[in-house]
Amino acid sequence: MSGEESPRSRDPRPQPPSAPEPGDCCGGGCTLCIFDLHEQALQRYQQQLAAWLLRHPQAHEPD
């Protein structure tokens, strides 16, 4: 091992947010429900992934 980092190791692929479990919602009609927060996090992830794929055009989507 040469000890050199690859560009992808310095710029790791974004990971999707964990989905909330059905029981994570309290059912109280919160202004920002856990599912709303997850949707926002998912949108941020998709934007981050699109930008990452532009920086790493050789990367392939996982099978």
Give φ, ψ of 54 to 5 degrees: -65, -35
pLDDT reported for residue 60: 72
Picking from 19, 9, 25, the residue whose alpha carbon sits closest to that of residue 45 is: 19
For residue 43, what is the enclosing H or E element?
helix 34-55
Question: What tens-digit pLDDT sequence spans the chain (63 residues)?
Answer: 455 666 667 899 999 999 999 899 999 999 999 999 999 999 999 999 999 999 998 887 564
**Residue 29 burial (CB < 10 Å; 0-12/13-18/19+)?**
exposed
Q: Write down the pLDDT at residue 7.
A: 61
pLDDT, position 30:
92
What pLDDT shows up at residue 6?
A: 63
Q: In whole angstroms, give the CA distance from residue 45 to residue 39.
A: 10
